[in-house]
Structure 1
Amino acid sequence: MSKRSMRVPAAAPRALAVACAVAMLAMSSARADSPAPVVSNKINDVAARLASPPADARPLTRWWWFGPAVAKPELEREIKAMKQGGFGGFEIQPVYPMEHDDTARGIKNVPYLSNEFLDAVSFANRTGRANGLRVDMTLASGWPYGGPHIGINHAAARLRVATVEVPAGAASYALPVVMNGERLIAAFAGPGNAKQYDSTALALVTPKALPAGRASIAAAGAPRVMVFYIATRTGQQVKRAALGAEGFVLDHLSRGAVDHHLRTVAEPLLKAFGKQPPYAVFSDSLEVYGTDWTEDFLQEFKKRRGYDLVPHLPSLFSGKGEAIGNTAGGVRRDWALTQTELVNERYLIPMNDWAKARKTQFRSQTYGEPAVSMSSNRLVALPEGEGPQHRSFSFTRLATSAGHLYGRPVISAETWTWLNSPAFSATPLDMKAEADRMLLSGVNLFVAHGWPYTPPGTIEPGYAFYAAAVFNDHNPWWNVMPDVNGYLTRMSYLMRQGEPANQVAVFLPNDDVYASLVPGKVSLSAEMHKHVTPQLTEQILDAGHNLDYVDAESVLALGVKHPVLVMPHVTRLAPEVIDKLAAYVRGGGKIIAVGSTPSLAPGFVDAQRISARVVVASKALFAQGPNVQVVANDAAVGAALGAALAPDLKLSSHVSEVGFVRRKLLDADIYFIANTGNTEVKANAAVAVKRAHAAWMDPDSGKLTRAASTGEHALHLAPYESRVLVLSDAPLAAAEAPRYGAPAVLADLGRDWKVSFPAAAGQGAAGVATEHNFAELRSWTDNEATRHFSGVAVYTKEITVNAGQTAGQRVMLDFGPGTPLAATPKVPAGMRAMYESPIREAAQVVVNGKRAGAVWHPPYRVDVTSLLAPGSNRIEVRVANLAVNTLAGHALPDYRLLSVRYGQRFVPQDTELIAPRPAGMLGPVKLVGEKIL
């Protein structure tokens, strides 16, 4: 059944509309030819897969095709490299040209959607599939959707104001010029001038046209101002467009514009995939700046809201000095809500339907502008988040919460968007620091941002996107990428099992935010932080809970399932929502209202009568007894929550640094616990869940060791370290946890290493590696010859071990502690680990020719017990540094001529910060023994 035939009449109750939308989505979200994610409700089934999780949990990467100028041999090479590095697939994203055409190097920028481009897409799909990789396709170039096919009448629209001052006694005035793509909506007259007027005193008028673009006006004794409201276009152009993809951003509130884009762009793209459609088609974050209108907005508004918006247009803008009163707020709420409904019905639902009909799925970052809501995510098959803000309002938590509420088991996130800077500065530890915050927010699939296609012959370290980290094999620390992706895959798989188990819901006061929005910035996600403050989020987390968001739509459709609901500064709320909350409390649910209780009607129509109902219903709700309480401010939430609900996981110390998220299986509970700070944590952890058996899981290997099943659990975490606690009814296939004595130094290895550099380091004959003796460990950037070397240097040392040193103990190769950084620098902006490693930046350890493990995050040590033999032993540490050192060793590209040819489409970020970073094994390095007790 089509969406059109199931459309709910405008007068239908909102609850029915939401319920119908949920039902329609349930029928349309599953993709017939894609494997379902591996989800188990039995812990031993999960444990059996930990060593080798399913491939669909592997991270994806966004694959930037610059130009696009790609060649099949390099496409194939990079696809195979992705697989070798542990990625599970890629998303093709064509963006701006990086170089002029160069026949000698095989660089040819071809137009977007040209036959050459579509042939490359087809080849990448076939090759990716042949290598067992998932292939996704963004349905545009750059973002937001748009391009040369979007004419002025399909371009993103907004409302603008033009004012004309009319002197005292004037009989006519100049009308504002209305250009192609614009339309005069209404005119008002009143006292004041162009800079200051009272919008409540403006009167709707009909201009009487005169020749030469003027209009007549009755003479008056006082000066007046004419205020014109004109439907216009934002003029926004597609950001980072490929060659031939330049043009207006489309109007996401217009079904005609969306359908035109699907016909003109999406259909040719899908044809290139032939009989193997992409796993998903992708839409990036909605960044349609300034949009707040569409061609038939007035008609749709009246149909949905029941009154004419035109007389109230001044209320949307509010004249200078006028407070936003109840009337203006109600109108603004109705105006913004109408935009949400239109983007839902005319963009999200059609896109999802289109994808399903073509045996693919719609993956969408559903936040930004236009003003989509948390529950708008219910309309897409694959919600995706962005941003690692774990302890404040989070765009990512919008997606994960919707996934939890509306039954989406896999919630992805664009990850590492702003990781360290400039390009090639990000480390594997930086990746983990952000990834763990994503996991704590409910993410269970990572989309790396990203992988720059680089033509052969490009000077190293190759291409980089203008504002992002690089995760391809031009990075020296690619040698540990399989280990990094192994960790991410294992945790992604684990965080899909069972059901989400967050105990606290935070109500998003959409109606209050709608009422505060003004033309030019209509975004729920951009303004919600004023209600869901960092302090509010911190109070909940530090009280020993994790949280989801809910909103009025989800409450009406699904009720509230969480034991506690926090309502932050909610004043506008529909009576039927309050009725749902009253039923929730009667069923045992608990509510903590912060700062206020609901007292206003959400919208404008019949506001006085509905507000009276809201006051009565709200008073009754908060008179129900001890399960409801009102606290004065955000700072009081933690104490109130502590009185309402026992902590899910409570630490004895370091509360703000350690986060957790829980998944609930039929016979077990899984706690992912992460130290998000740069200092060591030693604490006791008490959990609310009681099960017969317990084990700790090593995230890097998946191995289980037994833990005490009752009482507190001793938690010892290095900076940025994570662990998993498993509580189970059934016995676990876990080894007995060994007990060790205090560590003792068996050998100081801080001196006399041989260090071999490849010829690329700039020394020796061509193709011949060079070797240096490091009497003391230091950064190889101290040596001018290797100052700009980026790559893998091999440290070797022969050590003698006797049988007595290894008998009855665990032997660790310990590279020493790192150094916490004091404060987050203002530049560069974005995420990074505030910690400097003793091994810069990652290493593989080989003992007597056998791989012992990888070193890329604290604690920086490797168990070498089983590889050591009595007598002489060869220790080999293959250390990889950052590619930024090579970047600093040569002049940066001059993009002036490129910008002359194609226009300036990008500016490389933070290039003034490009400089060599310390590299190599810095020490202290020790061989440490721990007696087995």
Structure 2
Amino acid sequence: MHIFRFIRCFTIAGLFTIGLAAAQTADREPTSLAKPVNTARPWTFWWWMGSTVNETELTLQLEQLAEAGIGGVHIIPIYGVKGYENQAIPFLSKRWLAVFAHTVREASRLGLGVDLTNGTGWPFGGPTVTPYMAAQKWQLTGSQLTASLTNQQVKRPAPGGAGPALNYFDAQATGRYLRWFDSTLATLPERPRAVYNDSYELFGANWTGNFLSEFRKRRGYALDSQLPAFLDTNQTDMSIRVRQDYHETLSDLLADGFTKTWTGWATRQHYATRNQAHGSPGNLLDLYALADIPETESFGSSRFAIPGLRVDEGYEVDNFGTPHPLAMKFASSAANLTGKRLVSSETGTWLANHFNVSLTQLKPQMDELFTAGINHIFYHGITYSPTTESWPGWLFYASTNYGPTAHFWKELPALNQYIEHCQTRLQASKPDNDVLVYFPIHDLWATRAKSAGGVHQLEVHHVDRWLLPLPFGQLCDTLRQRGYSFDYVSDKQLNQLAVSAGRITAPGGRYRVILIPACQYMPETTLRRLKALAKQGATIVFEKALPQQAPGFANYVNRNALIQTLGLEMGRQETIHVAADVVQTLQELHVPAEQLATQGLTFIRKRVAGKAVYFIANLANQFGSGWVSLSTGDTHWYRYDPLTDQTTEVPTRRTAIGGTELWLRLLPGQSCFLTSSSTSQSVREQKTIPYGQPVVEELTEPWSLSFLAGKPAGLPPARLEQLTSWTTLSDSASYFSGTVRYETSFTLSASPTPSATYRLSLGDVWETARVWLNGQEVGLAWSLPFEMTIPVALLKHGKNKLTIEVVNLSANYMRLRDGQLPDWKKFYDINLVDIRYKPFDATKWKPAPSGLLGPVRLLSEAN
């Protein structure tokens, strides 16, 4: 194998650094922060159980988080702990404000950011919400539509935060609710960076007191005049049109009554806003776009085909769904289109059962988010837990524990550093997508609603129920699999577009084409806007046909006729295309697709200072190594490995048609950045085939095992002729959670070749492995495929000593702990549940495989 020397691309790194600094300066940060916060590091949800906190412990835990590489905390007060009732601090009380102010000061000292939920638990609500301000639903009283209360209460509230859920469709109710914070939080000189709204989880809320008057004003007729159509569930043409108008009014009221009111208030108070718009009965693109930091959610585990990747069999996909990149792109599209630098994600919720989540499961989920345009990870999460509490301390009911009691706490800095390396580059680069895909929400509103209250709640968990069945979802999935880079655009966002030299420009990006999925309904204002953009030179592609109907009831006959007239006029415009096969039409229009996708690789393409930057993740089992081509046509490339923080030259070759191909070795589970450069002086002559087959030597000598730090203590050493799980050694070993040292030796029959590359493949590892060779530390293997490069200087002719320390899950010890001392489960509200939302009980678990299972191989690749 031809191995290229490691180099530091100071020019490229400098561009990233300058871009990041400029972007951070542009962000609106609270003036009270003494130090700029690091958004490239992962942040974390930080639950304050009962707000039972004190200054000493807060400082200690913030110092632990900063030392581990966490960039900031998002405080969420929730339900309390049994036995600590007298220490609980009511939300927004004088004492609560004091500990919050201390937290912000200490975080600032440590370079950490602080965000805060505008309430406790979720959704917004609490003791200040009067019946007038509370969530409402419609009911039929005689022949009249009237309002009634949903009676929903704040879910998982903290002391001082219980009360009715807020009416999100009423601006006056929202404004009055926020006065609670004006008289408390706003009086502090210490401010959070951002305030936060969790995903829309108002169940059955579908009305507000002035809905009928707002409906008449916005839709042009009285809803109660079409009451039979509104109540009709047979999906007749009239009922569909009236329900479209009903949903559009709800969407408008949610934007005006809540999102704009909340963000306007935050702006006046000098807070940024993070908003999870998903779950809303509105157009997610418009709602996400109103926030400073749009936030998506990654709930459960994606079913990647990476060999060795474990999935918790207890997770019920039918009930809880799985993450999907098309759902994530609603948040990133809104940010890309409007020019917002940060797009965040609630990450790792129910990735596996408590005490069973591994770093190997986390990295692919992060990579999927990065390739979907997310660049500001929030762990879900860490619970404030006093150091006086015995293991496992205080835990939240539905999360991955990233805190100091987690089994991977000592190894977590490696994941944090990986994320920081990725997000530094992702935040400092600009989106570089070619296609804008119109989101035809009126076609969605024409379908039967499945959510509570008869409304369409566009949640991220079950995209198979609302997104993927739509022609929009099917087309976007095709584009993704064929390698096209795209964002979504809403009806309203089309008004933000302009055309320059044939390119469609938005505040945050430039595009080659607007793509309209097959849809039946389109507002005449939207079609007219598309016609105007086409007249200015924008390329617009309609899938199959132009829409034939205007949505809604008012004057629909004339509006339908206008839609058809506009369609005939647009058919004569040169830049408008009707495509029976969208992919073929995009090819004919020379809209580039990346070959990476058809080779089984997932990617995002961005730009820095006009040069292409790719982040590529192998989340499948199709590609290992080979020649790849990129659409940009640049000839000089560098590879940055965020896992090792090393940059190397990329072998390239010219193709017969004058293009450039790159040699890429990227095994399932691995990821990298590829950066183009106009500098050619460091690029050396490449061989036609730069890599040959490696020489594989399996290590077959016996292994000695020593049980180090962990529980239960005092286990005797062991000797293994063949690698197997240490849980098979004895009953006591089956409960052990901690660190075990493996030692063996191997012999090199010849001196190592200085120009060769040597890799150590550890095979199956449960869960992390730190490696030493001949007494020198090589590094930590914590992600698939558990492979690391061995410096040639560490190898020697003859006998070599290999030492590996493996840390396993805490699940095995919890099997014992939960039976002997179950008193740790002492939380109010939901207490603690398992991944199926049943009472948590680890005593029936089978031992999880633990240790180094191998096979362990030494791979050598010569020039």
When normalised by structure 2's length, the TM-score is 0.84
Task: Pick which of 775-784 and 432-441 moved more.
Answer: 775-784
Matches within 5 A, 1:748-763: 748=699, 751-758=702-709, 760-763=711-714
Shift in Å at residue 921 of structure 1? 0.9
Q: 2:595 aligns with which of 650, 653, 666?
A: 650
Q: Does 1:489 align with 2:420?
A: yes
Deviation at 1:869, TM superposition (A): 5.3
CA spacing shift, 1:340–1:601, aligned 2, 3 Å: same
1:909 aligns with 2:852: no
Partner of 2:643: 700
> Which of 199, 213, 227 matches 1:313?
227
Q: Which residue of 2 aligns with 1:202?
A: none
1:885 has 2:812 as partner: yes
Please name the residue that 2:529 is paired with: 580
* 1:624 matches 2:573: yes
TM-aligned CA distance change 1:740 to 1:507, over 3 Å? closer
Range with bigger deviation, 486-495 or 114-123: 114-123
Q: What is residue 804 of structure 1 aligned with on the other side? A: 751
Range with bigger deviation, 48-57 or 262-271: 48-57
Does 1:927 find its partner at 2:858? yes
Q: How does 1:624-773 map onto structure 2 within 5 Å?
A: 624-625=573-574, 627-631=576-580, 636-651=581-596, 655=598, 657-678=600-621, 680-707=623-650, 708=652, 710=654, 711-731=660-680, 742-745=693-696, 748=699, 751-758=702-709, 760-763=711-714, 771-773=717-719
How big is the shift at 1:331? 2.4
Aligned to 1:337: 248
1:262 aligns with 2:172: no
3-state SS of 1:409 partner = coil
1:156 positional shift: 0.7
User: What are structure 1's unaligned runs of at least 5 residues?
Assistant: 1-39, 162-183, 189-227, 765-769, 817-837
Comparing 516-525 and 372-381, the one that deviates more: 516-525
Deviations 1:333-370 (A, max 9, x none): 22222222222222222222222222221111122234
Instruction: Give the alignment of 1:42-441 within 5 angstroms.
Output: 43-46=12-15, 55-101=38-84, 108-161=87-140, 184=141, 187-188=142-143, 228-265=144-181, 267-271=183-187, 274-318=188-232, 320=233, 322-325=234-237, 327-387=238-298, 394-420=326-352, 422-441=353-372
C-alpha offsets along residues 654-701 of structure 1, whole Å, 9 cap, x if unaligned?
Answer: 727321110023341011111112455345322221224212222223
Q: In 2, distance between residues paired with 1:128 and 1:853?
A: 30
Offset, 1:794: 2.6
The reply on whether 1:779 has 2:714 as its aligned counterpart is no
Moved more, 341-350 or 53-62: 53-62
After TM superposition, give the deviation of residue 123 of structure 1 in Å: 2.3
Evaluate the alpha carbon distance shift between residue 493 and residue 804 of structure 1 in structure 2; reply closer, same or farther with a 3 A threshold.
same
108 and 550 in structure 1: CA distance in 2 versus 1, 3 angstrom threshold: same
Rounded to whole Å, the distance in 1 between the matches of 2:739 and 2:530 is 60
Q: CA RMSD in A?
A: 3.3
Percent identity, please.
27
8 Å CA contact 1:695, 1:734 repeated in 2:
no
Deviations 1:519-572 (A, max 9, x none): 814336254444256532331022221221101101123255422333223222
Which amino acid is the alignment partner of residue 438 of structure 1?
A: L
CA distance in structure 2 between the partners assigned to 1:696 and 1:898 by the alignment: 50
Q: Structure 1 residue 591 and structure 2 residue 565: aligned?
A: no
What's the secondary structure of 2:634's corresponding residue? coil
Shift of 1:904: 4.5
Greater shift in the superposed pair: 620-629 or 658-667: 620-629
**Alignment partners' CA distance in 1, 2:621 and 2:12:** 32
**C-alpha distance in structure 1 between counterparts of 2:206 and 2:645, whole Å:** 50
> Map of 1:498-517 to 2, 5 A cutoff?
498-516=429-447
Query: Mind listing any 5+ residue stretches in structure 2 that lack a counterpart?
Result: 1-8, 25-36, 303-321, 460-465, 499-503, 506-510, 655-659
What is the TM-score when the length of structure 1 is the normalising length? 0.78
| 1:540 corresponds to which of 457, 467, 479 | 479
Q: Distance in 2 between matches of 1:599 and 1:419?
A: 44
The CA distance in 1 between the partners of 2:112 and 2:785, in whole Å, is: 32
Once the two structures are superposed, what CA deviation does each residue of 1:61-87 show, in whole Å capped at 9, x if it has no partner? 101122232233332232122122211
* C-alpha contact (below 8 Å) 2:16/2:424 kept by paired residues: no
SS of structure 2 residue aligned to 1:918:
coil
- Cα deviation code 1:463-492 (max 9, x no counterpart): 332222111222222232122111111111
Pairing 1:827-838 to 2, within 5 Å after superposition? 838=764
**Secondary structure in 2 matching 1:485:** helix
Per-residue deviation, 1:133: 0.7
Change (3 A) 1:347 1:550: same
The residue type paired with residue 725 of structure 1 is: L
Q: Which one-letter code corresponds to 2:289 in the other structure?
A: R
Q: State the 1:242 CA deviation.
A: 1.6
User: Are residue 813 (structure 1) and residue 764 (structure 2) matched?
Assistant: no
- 1:289 and 1:369 in contact (8 A); partners too: no
Structure 2: which amino acid aligns with 1:525?
L
Inter-CA distance 264–789: structure 2 relative to 1 (3 Å threshold): same
Q: What is the alpha-carbon distance in structure 2 between the residues aligned to residue 61 and residue 469 of structure 1?
A: 11
Q: Secondary structure at the match of 1:310?
A: helix
After superposition, what is the alpha-carbon deviation per residue over 1:577-625, rounded to whole angstroms, capped at 9, x for unaligned? 2122224334554434335521222332221111100111123324435
Whether the aligned pair in 1 keeps the contact of 2:636 and 2:678 (CA below 8 Å) is yes
Distance 1:337 1:464 in 2: 41
- What amino acid is aligned across from residue 323 of structure 1 in structure 2? Q
1:444 counterpart residue number: 375
Residue 592 of structure 1 contacts residue 630 of structure 1 at CA under 8 Å; is this kept in 2?
Answer: yes
Query: Per the alignment, in what secondary structure is the counterpart of residue 408 of structure 1?
Result: coil
Distance 2:754 2:682 in 1: 27
Q: 2:740 is matched with which residue?
A: 793
CA distance 1:122–1:495, shift in 2 (3 Å): same
Equivalent AA in structure 1 for residue 675 of structure 2: V
SS state of the match for residue 533, structure 2? Answer: helix
Flag the 1:304–1:586 CA change in 2: closer, same or farther, 3 A: closer
SS of 1:758's partner is strand
C-alpha contact (below 8 Å) 1:291/1:520 kept by paired residues = yes
Once residues 800 and 551 of structure 2 are traced to their aligned partners in structure 1, the CA distance between those partners, rounded to angstroms, is: 75
Match of 1:863 in 2: 789
2:680 and 2:212 map into 1 onto residues whose CA distance is 64
In the aligned structure 1, how far is the partner of 2:822 from the partner of 2:786? 40
Look up the match of 1:208. none
Distance 1:541-1:907 versus aligned 2 partners, 3 A rule: same
**How many Å separate the matches in 2 of 1:709 and 1:117?**
63
Output the CA distance in 1 between the equivalents of 2:251 and 2:801: 65
- Distance, in Å, in 2 between the alignment partners of 1:756 and 1:586 is 74
Q: Paired residues, what number?
A: 786
Deviation at 1:644, TM superposition (A): 3.7
Q: State how 1:18-37 maps to structure 2 within 5 Å.
A: none
How big is each residue's C-alpha offset from its partner over 1:472-520, in whole Å with a ceiling of 9 and x where there is no partner? 2222222321221111111112122332111122211122333446581
| Larger Rg computed on CA atoms | 1
Q: Give how far 1:785 is off.
A: 1.6
